[in-house]
Amino acid sequence: MIDLIKRLFKIAPKADFEKLIREGAQIIDVRTPAEYANDHLKNSINIPLNSLGTNLNKIKKDKPVITCCASGGRSSIARKVLLSKSYAEVYNGGSWLSLRKYDK
């Protein structure tokens, strides 16, 4: 019953972000250029949410993707967009600050 509920609500298991990043996952920061310029993860790529659809060529389909933003709202939308464009392994990292400890 629990598995059915998780599938219906598309609840994914907790991702091991440390392992994903260590193994080369792409970190896509979907904040605005101004937000990104203020501070960001050194290994992230800035593709604002409003231009994600026209910049898919910057994101490899054969590597895991972690989306992030300021609080997790925009990164959740970005995750859904990427999944709809046939990206197989996409995770919502939430706030970029929560991923900072893994970005070395």
C-alpha span between 64 and 90 (Å, rounded): 6
In a domain, 55, yes or no: yes
Q: Residue 39 is inside which H or E element, if any?
A: none
What CATH number is associated with residue 48?
Answer: 3.40.250.10
**pLDDT of amino acid 10:** 52
Q: Which residue has the higher pLDDT, 2 or 54?
A: 54
**pLDDT of amino acid 75:** 97
Token pair recorded at residue 76: 């959740």
Residues 6+ apart with CB under 8 A from 86: 61
Token pair recorded at residue 72: 């997790």
Query: What does the pLDDT look like over 17-76, one tens digit per residue?
Result: 999 999 999 999 999 999 999 999 999 999 999 999 999 999 999 999 999 999 999 999
- pTM score, whole prediction: 0.86
In a domain, 2, yes or no: no
In a domain, 6, yes or no: no
In a domain, 33, yes or no: yes
Residue 95 domain boundaries: 11-102
In a domain, 56, yes or no: yes
In a domain, 85, yes or no: yes
In a domain, 79, yes or no: yes
Residues 6+ apart with CB under 8 A from 56: 82, 85
**pLDDT of amino acid 2:** 47
